[in-house]
Amino acid sequence: DTEVTQTPKHLVMGMTNKKSLKCEQHMGHRAMYWYKQKAKKPPELMFVYSYEKLSINESVPSRFSPECPNSSLLNLHLHALQPEDSALYLCASSQDRGAPDSYNSPLHFGNGTRLTVT
Amino acid sequence: QKEVEQNSGPLSVPEGAIASLNCTYSDRVSQSFFWYRQYSGKSPELIMSIYSNGDKEDGRFTAQLNKASQYVSLLIRDSQPSDSATYLCVLGSWTGNQFYFGTGTSLTVIP
């Protein structure tokens, strides 16, 4: 069983819809991530939150809007998506690094949301 | 951009054989290395973490790290059909909460 929970598991939305993906973790991790994964490709980083603050935005289009309401929750708000945005969206968490040069703790992934944009 | 290279495969091995998955990387200062297994349509699952040179064993899995050669590998002993999946080599960046993914190696274990 995964300790990172994502909802919904599947989502079909039209290009004019607004929807949100949700992610929750109870591992005490302070870093949370959104990744996008297309078929037969590795996950592609979208956003990183560290201690509830956005620390990395990988030049993601503004139709994707992340939100971190608290240390356990991460949302991804979707608006005016394109069919090419159809993908598996993965949430992950990890213990935040204490300092540069320290070891990374691994990413723990949720089960993902399969998004289809029609 | 850190480069992480894996042979994309597909790699096919017979059941019961040893599967050897390899990964090379360009960043000399990376200290954290991970192997993930991903079944088709599912999310990646952590199977091994390794931080020091040498071998680390966990059940049928052995990870090997050689920082001087910038090489990390994963051996799967007594391969089972259920091991058929894509294996992702992942590096942790020393600069922050960022991870670099290889393109993955597709493994098929033939019964």
**What is the tens place of the pLDDT at every residue in B25-46?**
998 777 899 999 999 999 999 9
> Confidence band (pLDDT; 50, 70, 90) for A104?
confident
Q: Which two tokens stand for residue A114?
A: 């399969």
What gap in Å lies between CA A25 and CA A69, rounded to an integer?
Answer: 12
Q: Across the interface, do B94 and A55 touch by the CB < 8 Å criterion?
A: no
The CA dihedral of B103, B87, A38, A71, to the nearest 10 degrees, is -110
Alpha-carbon distance A97 to nearest alpha carbon in chain B (angstroms): 7
B97 touches chain A (CB under 8 A): yes
DSSP conformational letter for B53: S
Residues of chain A with Cβ-Cβ distance to B98 below 8 Å are: 45, 48, 56
Choose the mutation target among A104, A107, A113 for the interface with B, i.e. most B CBs under 10 Å.
Answer: A104
Is the pLDDT at B2 greater than 70? The verdict is: no
Is the pLDDT at A2 greater than 70? The verdict is: no
Is the pLDDT at B47 greater than 60? The verdict is: yes
Query: What pLDDT, on a 0 to 100 scale, did the predictor assign at position A39?
Result: 95
Q: CA of B35: which chain A residue's CA is closest?
A: A106
Is the pLDDT at A92 greater than 70? The verdict is: yes
* pLDDT one-digit tens code per residue, A18-73: 999 999 999 999 999 999 999 999 999 999 999 999 999 999 999 999 999 999 99
Q: CA of B8: which chain A residue's CA is closest?
A: A40
Q: Which two tokens stand for residue B35?
A: 């192997």
> Confidence band (pLDDT; 50, 70, 90) for A96?
confident
